[in-house]
Structure 1
Amino acid sequence: MSIGARTPARGMLPWMVLGIVFLALNLRTPIIAPTAILPRIQEGTGFSAAGLGLLTGLPVLLFALATPLAGRFITRLGAEVTVLTCLSGVLLGTVLRSIGPPWLVLVGTGIIGLAITLGNIVVPVIIRREVPWEQVSMVTGLYSAMMNIGSMGTLIGTGPLAAAFGWRWALAIWGVLAVIGLGFWSGLIRTRMRREGAAAQAAEAASPAEAGPPGEGSAPAAKQPWSQAPAAFRGITALLIVTFSGQSIAYYVTTTWLPSYLADTIGLAPAAAGSTASLFQIAAILGAFGVPLLAARSQPWTPVAIVALLWLSLPVGLLLAPGAYGLWAITGGIAQGGGFTAIFSIIARTAGSDSQTASASARVQGGGYLAATLAPPFAGWLNTATSGWTAPLLLVLAATLAFTITGLLAARRAGGFPRGGAGAREILDD
């Protein structure tokens, strides 16, 4: 099936949305699961602290390094093959990580990182192609929310599973989600191919003289090099690279260091600090669904502006009023869920073809995840070098300011694109 044209199949939308849900559940669960039981994994494998860090850091590093290859993979082989490869890789990596010696645990982790990279890039392509224009933001929000729900479920469930069955089974059992996803997507793809085949035969029978070769008109778009993409779209993508980098720095620094900040600055016990930090993850669900609701009733820049204010409230609040840490964790959490939705909704709004969506998504995520790999260690170094948390919080503030400035510029430019995929493509192709 070509990825070059936006051709939603009649009656397939609910099933496609459900497929996106199953895919989203597999895009964070495998890398979150080890974080809940790191001491047990260390006891069972003999990993050093650096080795344990690779269990969570290696996938994020691969997100940054492998995204250009993921974009080419999707353009060459299509969205459906990419989805099946992603889920198969998640399943294979989960199994290898759960049964092998320490070196195989790391190999399995690397396979999971590569597989999830494919999934990260292909979801915006599927949403752009399959979802009606007025529902793009809502489905993107659902995708973001399901990743957060999967993360929360994994954090809650992995510890008890490890206590009952051991750490290897606790990691392996999440592979069931990949099995379910593979089964669902295999059936979904077969159903769509049958429907499109029947529709093509009916169209050919109705007007054989006008029927062209299969896929005519979409292949050139699928193979269009990035250098030939419209300048307006490339400019928006460049802004979104900085926007997503700011989002990723703020998210990963906060996720990594907020419990330590709360323990050192507020004096919270580890359990209380962890519970408060979990508010940052839970509140993301509100942001993921809130942005689409705002987008449907306002100018394109309004959701980005509100998300930006909420993002800024996190470092400013922790610097000026640390006693209200619970409030800032919630506002920052809403921002991180809403920011992800806003960024990738802009890509879907402005891309002129699925190949452009894949290329833009790869560039945006590549830059953002590279920043996410480097920022938490740098924040930790700042904490050690300055013997305090002011410098790391200023790093988060700088990141959220970058999100604010470039995000608003990108949203303003995206507002010049007409609603509806065909109209946007006409503008882009001029």
Structure 2
Amino acid sequence: MVDDVAADLALSPAAVGLLTGLPVLCFALASPAASALVARLGVERVVSLALLTVALGTVLRSTGGATTAFAGTALIGLAITAGNIAVPVVVRRDFRARADVVTGMYTAAMNFGSVLATALTLPVAEAVGWRWALALWVVLVPLAWVPWRAATRGRTAPVELAPVGADADAAGRRGVLARPITWFLTVMFAGQSFAYYGTTAWLPKILHDSVHLDAGAAGVGAALFQGFAIAGALGVPAVLARGWSMRAAFAVIAAGWLALPLGLLLAPQWWAVWIAAAGVAQGGNFTVVFTTVVRRAGTVADARRTSATVQTVGYGVAALGPSVIGAVHASTDDWTVPLVVLLGAVVALTVAGLVATGTPRTQPPRTEPPRTGPEPA
């Protein structure tokens, strides 16, 4: 479908790359602003505003020319960024005791949406054109907005007032940045994001060149990578409920991630096994990262600040994944070195993750003075 969009909008290959990568750039660049917005307006208003913005962006990118396509895609990216920051805040505030379960459900829902979009968008585009295929997804917005409004109606979310709120937030942000756990989680998520987006972009091509799969079979491989993530997202809370430690769960996840580049290098004929293992791992690791963010945050505001830091750096690194893997492949005309680069990212997330998921020696510190009343976001 990308070829149809490019032809219809007269986009160059570079412009197509920018259009498809724009949401990830928004995730990286807009996370600090989204964090400040959540602090100012509260998660109830921000999530509602984000959903309405997704609807506007979905319609906008499906109409007009290249300018509206970029504008609509940017709006969607900014809205999702706000949602990405808001979710850990809601989990920390309302579901801290069951953070793993709620985060796992959230991660599974995202991966299910990705699988659904992958499965349905192309057939719809072939039937009615790419514009309708993209615009039709706007019907999901009210399905999310109505229950969200029902669940949060009447809730009084505190609003941080400037300049006092700005000073407090700056002090709290410095406290979060001074904590080693913040940076271990950041490296953990950056490695995951680089590996995920690099794999998503190039896995079909790797399978075609290395295992000689046709386009259909390579597409099945990519679908396996997304689909098995649902099992990983839900599997983490399941094993934690059985008494596993977070570090033990992460060790299995790390092994699954490591299996993909190592397996494709050493035994590519078993590609389905390596892809399934990495699919489970990428869904499970997302759950581990943001469950750990929630559990190690001293306050709701700390969860927001830590999440913003992790996502700003992580998605910034993620934006490099497809281009770095592609550039290395172009320079070597082989997939060995790109897979070694991918392996390096996975090793980084493994080392950082083993530290981040260890048992904390002390309770997480508050990075701001104690407050009376409900904790602000």
Task: With the length of structure 2 as denominator, give the TM-score of the two structures.
Answer: 0.91
Q: Which residue of 1 aligns with 2:329?
A: 383
Paired AA for residue 97 in structure 1: R
Whole-Å separation in 2 of the counterparts to 1:427 and 1:273: 48
Structure 2 residue 253 is matched with structure 1 residue 330? no
| Cα contact 2:226–2:279 (8 A) shared by 1 | yes
Whole-Å separation in 1 of the counterparts to 2:368 and 2:346: 30
Structure 2 residue 95 is matched with structure 1 residue 131? yes
| Cα contact 2:91–2:103 (8 A) shared by 1 | yes
Q: Which residue of 2 aligns with 1:374?
A: 320
Please, which of 91, 97, 108 is the counterpart of residue 145 of structure 1?
108
Q: Which residue of 1 aligns with 2:144?
A: 181
- Unaligned regions of 5+ residues in structure 1, if any? 1-36, 197-212, 419-423
Whole-Å separation in 2 of the counterparts to 1:92 and 1:79: 20
Structure 2 residue 181 is matched with structure 1 residue 265? no
Structure-2 change in CA distance of 1:214 and 1:145 (3 Å): closer
Whole-Å separation in 1 of the counterparts to 2:83 and 2:304: 11
Whole-Å separation in 1 of the counterparts to 2:367 and 2:5: 53
| Cα contact 1:95–1:175 (8 A) shared by 2 | yes
Q: Any idea what the Cα deviations from partners look like across 1:346-402, whole Å, max 9, x if unmatched?
A: 000011112111111011011111111112111111111111011111111111111
SS where residue 110 of structure 1 aligns?
helix
SS where residue 174 of structure 1 aligns?
helix
| Cα contact 1:240–1:406 (8 A) shared by 2 | yes
Task: With the length of structure 1 as denominator, give the TM-score of the two structures.
Answer: 0.80
Superposed, 1:192-211 pairs within 5 Å as 192=155
Shift of 1:226: 4.7
Paired AA for residue 369 in structure 1: Y
Shift of 1:117: 0.6
Q: Which residue of 2 aligns with 1:236?
A: 181
Whole-Å separation in 2 of the counterparts to 1:185 and 1:177: 13
| Cα contact 1:67–1:365 (8 A) shared by 2 | yes
| Cα contact 1:315–1:397 (8 A) shared by 2 | yes
- Structure with the greater alpha carbon radius of gyration: 1
Shift of 1:426: 6.9
Whole-Å separation in 2 of the counterparts to 1:46 and 1:339: 39
Superposed, 1:46-57 pairs within 5 Å as 46-57=10-21
Structure 1 vs Structure 2: percent identity of aligned residues? 43
Whole-Å separation in 1 of the counterparts to 2:159 and 2:176: 30
Deviates more, 1:71-80 or 1:44-53: 44-53
| Cα contact 1:233–1:350 (8 A) shared by 2 | no
Structure 2 residue 251 is matched with structure 1 residue 305? yes
Q: Which residue of 2 aligns with 1:346?
A: 292
Q: CA RMSD in A?
A: 2.5
Shift of 1:159: 1.7
Q: How many residues align?
A: 366
Q: Any idea what the Cα deviations from partners look like across 1:163-215, whole Å, max 9, x if unmatched?
A: 2322111111101111222233223222545xx9xxxxxxxxxxxxxxxx999
Whole-Å separation in 1 of the counterparts to 2:301 and 2:65: 40
SS where residue 216 of structure 2 aligns?
helix
- Unaligned regions of 5+ residues in structure 2, if any? 371-377
Structure 2 residue 29 is matched with structure 1 residue 65? yes
| Cα contact 1:226–1:356 (8 A) shared by 2 | no
Paired AA for residue 179 in structure 1: P
Q: Which residue of 2 aligns with 1:7?
A: none
